[in-house]
Every structure is written in C-alpha cells, then in structure tokens.
Structure 1
C-alpha cells in the first residue's frame, strides 16, 4: 500500500529536494519509526553522498538520526555503502558504529579501505584474506538494492549441489564436549542453526546432527564454505553482510582459542581446517550442513539447519 508519505517522498526525490526529504525522514523517525524506513532507503540509495550521509547526523535533535539499526529492505548504512565509495563517504560519516560497518562493506565490495579508514576496534582486518575472496564474486557478496525499496540477494545453500557428494557412513554419535571448548562453537552465528562441539573428527561432529548414519557428503576447503557462513550470519533483515563477516571472524578466533581476531592465527586455522558438508532430504532454498575439524586441537564443530526465505 502506497501511503501519502511515500508519494510525497517520491516527488521530493524526483525533484532533487534532498534537504526537505531529509527533514521528512527525521520527522517520521521521531514520531513513526516504521514509516521512516522507506524514506530513509530512498535517501540512502538515490541522494548525493553529502545529503545521504546526513541520515546519521545528530543535528536534527533527539531520536531523529538513523543509526546502525535502522533498516527497510536492509540496513540504511548498507544501502549507502553500495552507492558510494569510502573515499566519498569517509569525510561525511560521524557515528563510529556506522563508519565501521560501511568500511567493512566497502572492503567486501572490493575497495581498498585498509590504511584509509581507522583500524577495526576488534582486530578484524579491512582487507579481505585470500580465502575470503576465493570463489566469492564481488557482485553477490552484498544485497543488490532497488531504488524504490526491496533488494535482491543470492540464495545460499551448503552443500549447494549433490553432484560432488558421495555416500558416507557416519560413526555412532559420541559424547559432546562441554566447557571452554564448547563456548568456541558457532552457537550464536544464526538462531536457526543447531551447533555442537565434539572431541574427534568432522564425521564425528556431523554424526551429532545428521538425520541418519548414512549421508551424502563431501569434503571441501573452508574457502568454499565461507560465503554461506557469512550469509547465514547476516540473514536477518536488520543485518548486513558486514555483520556476517565480523561474526565469522569472531567464530574463527574462538575456534583458534583467541579472545579476539588475530589475522595470522585465523589464517593458520583456516589452512588446517578439515571441512565436511552433507545433504539432507528436506533441503530446499536456504540451508547449511557443515562440520569443521581442527586437527591441531582434536576438536570438531558441526552446524546444521535451514532458514525460511
């Protein structure tokens, strides 16, 4: 249903009356935050950067500035980041959380941000590692936003095909690992994922969650699983791909036994991980079935679940 405010916003945008459109967004955000979303999307998508970045300025008074949580088809900061370079946006963005997420988004989109933006406060690099880039095209890393609202996003599925899988007999499920090792598991990666930690191999971990002893499964490099993990961690409407990347880096840091991401330690973990993906009969659109084994510690983790589109 197109409201009066939607029509007015469209008319102001068509006329290039961005200051008036910004005032409309601020008024709506202060009185009707849900109605402000489409207006904010229009500004973030279509306005010149000097106007679009003002969505996040606090000069309009309390409760009128967008923050990292404001969204419509996706986070407003992510819409903005898909439209303008870091070089254009850096002098204009003030709130630190928004600056951080925009910088990571620009890095995901292939821009050289490291050295041009403040270092990440948690140690996640602003340059994508080689294993992050492998097999993950820039054009599908971040949602493709549409001018009037809405977005296109690549579906994720792991494993994404059964062609390279073969029958595998899993061992009988053993005990799960409690305590500190279990806290490194990807339990918070996505609410629809079930996760476990065991002392053993990737098949031992998969046996905890797979629907039966015999499955269709296959080994793959972590780089092939990485995009699906990021997309799973950023699947909620209010989250962006940068959230997913940060979450996966923290997951890997925990698996490596570190309190925060250290690129050299994460790279070393990724290089030695043994990964196993398996298929389940009910898989449809968005699903993930993955076991990760670290032979250096003898620990393995499994993640499994499906998300409604």
Structure 2
C-alpha cells in the first residue's frame, strides 16, 4: 500500500523538486537518529545504521535520478548532525554505487567530499570502464585507476557492478566458479598438500570471500584444491585468470552495503599479498602483472553447491605456492 508520504515524495521527484527531496531525506535521517537516541538506543554507529535503513528508499531515488549536483550532497555534512549518508548507507545497494553508475567521474569529482565515498565512486567508475589514471587522485593502496587488460577482458565477459532501477531494486548476474561444466572434465586430484599457516595472502583471500574457506599449500593447484574439494575425483579444469576475475570481485561484495569497488580493492590486496612485494605502487603493480601472466587457475564442482559458490585454486609456479578458496551459500 502506497502511503500519502510516499505519494508526495514521488510527486516531488516527478516534478524535479530535488532540493526539497534532499531536505526531506536529511530531516528524516536526523529524526531517525534522534529517535533512536531518545529511546535509549546504543547511539553512535548503531543509531546511524538504523537511520540509514529508514531513509534508504528515498536516498536511492535521489542518488539514482537527481542531478549530480544534488545527489552528491547526500554525503555532505552541511545539513547538520545525523543528516549525511555514510559509506554503508544502502537500499538495493550502497548509495555511492547507485550514484557512480549514473554519472561520469568528471561530473562527480568536483562534487564529492568525503574521502571514503570519493574513493569508492572512483573505483566504481573504473570498473565501468573509465580511465581515471590522469583525472583522479592516486588510490591510497596503489590500486590502478584503469582496468588492467585481464580485468578488462573479465568485465567484457561479465560485469560485477549491479544495474540499478529508479524505484528501487537492482539487476546483477550471479557470478560463480565454476559457472558451468563447459571446459571441465573428470579429474583425479592428487594427495592434499600440507597447509602452510600464517600466509598473508591466505588471510586476504579469506577476507575477500568471508563465506568460504581458504588455504595455502606448497605444490600445484590441484594439491591445494584437494584440501577443500569433496573428494579425490571431481569435475574440474583450468581457466584463464581473466575469466576468474569477475567472480572473485563479486565474492568481495559481502552484502548490500558493499559494492563491486569493495571486491576489486579486496582482490588487489590478495594479489599484492601473493607477490610478497611491499614497495612503491608502480613496483607492486609490475609484480602483480607478472603474477597474473604466470598464474594457473583450477576450478572444480561440488555436488553440494548452493546458489552462490566459489571453488578455485590459484598456483604461482615461480614460488611453488598455491592457494585455494572454496565455499557456497544461498543468497
């Protein structure tokens, strides 16, 4: 049932009265924060999270349909305490990702203030194919502001960025590994390799896909896969990293408060940790490129798979190490 207030807000949107809608959003968000505090809520971040839920549909509409000069002000603090959307405010997806899918970086760059939101918007524009290498400030972790060739190939195959709808909701392909049986065959896995504890890349891989298990072994990819596969005989095969990339990026989108930019940043942390290099961004990037060029990627099926699943082993022939990540869940 559509309430009077919802009808009024939709009418304002249809009439293009976006400044009034922004004011209504700020007023509602601040009131929700104040109500939580007055009722003895925990305050702080918890109050803002509940306020974000209450105002999410209106925030989504503004981020999607308002002119960028208005939509970017969702994240400004000039409206007073409790009025600004944060990096975790979301409806069908984070409000900053909705905004990023609607306008190019040149229109958004002069308007965005908060560094976390600004960074995530820039990374989303990169995922959508924009080259920001000269137009945006360097990423704090040195993540490139232009898709690498293997990322561009993966994006052309399957994009991990959601497609948002004006009145709420989104469309997104469910990216899994393996995506199908094409190119796979019966494989007899070798004996599992002994786990190597304490590897930074293993921790980074576990953080990327928090719903999956991760392990590192010394030896080829199938020995790592054998640690997590359901048995010695599986249906599996090798894939180029470019075809693996979209599913790994989407694995980092843990919930609706996360966007594809979170997945890309998390995956670059994994790859950087695998190289073991800690240096200038240009040096790290060169090592990651070399790693991708030599990496072997093995995937396999699990009969118990649920809707979302990821089964992948990544082998670095130069170091003799392989990492495997495996898990499934309903979404």
Q: TM-score, normalised by structure 1?
A: 0.95
Establish whether residue 270 from structure 1 lines up as the match of residue 292 from structure 2: yes
Establish whether residue 136 from structure 1 lines up as the match of residue 194 from structure 2: no
Deviation at 1:102, TM superposition (A): 0.7
**Residues paired across the two proteins, number:** 309
Establish whether residue 172 from structure 1 lines up as the match of residue 191 from structure 2: yes
Deviation at 1:276, TM superposition (A): 0.3
The structure carrying a bigger helix percent of its residues is 2
Instruction: State the match for 1:161 in structure 2.
Output: 180
Which of 318, 323, 328 is the aligned partner of 1:296? 318
Unaligned runs of 5+ in 1: none
Instruction: State the match for 1:15 in structure 2.
Output: 15
Instruction: State the match for 2:35 in structure 1.
Output: none
- CA distance 1:138–1:38, shift in 2 (3 Å): farther
Distance, in Å, in 2 between the alignment partners of 1:6 and 1:235 is: 30
Instruction: State the match for 1:199 in structure 2.
Output: 218
Which of 223, 228, 231 is the aligned partner of 2:242? 223
RMSD of the alignment, in Å? 1.7
Asked if the contact 2:201–2:270 (Cα under 8 Å) also holds between the matched residues in 1, the reply is no
Q: Which moved more, 1:184-193 or 1:99-108?
A: 184-193
Instruction: State the match for 2:327 in structure 1.
Output: 305
Distance, in Å, in 1 between the alignment partners of 2:204 and 2:223 is: 15
Instruction: State the match for 2:71 in structure 1.
Output: 52
- CA distance 1:18–1:141, shift in 2 (3 Å): same
Asked if the contact 1:132–1:226 (Cα under 8 Å) also holds between the matched residues in 2, the reply is yes
Unaligned runs of 5+ in 2: 33-50
Indicate the SS of the match to 1:290.
Answer: strand
Deviation at 1:286, TM superposition (A): 1.8
Instruction: State the match for 2:40 in structure 1.
Output: none
Instruction: State the match for 2:36 in structure 1.
Output: none
Which of 84, 108, 119 is the aligned partner of 1:89? 108
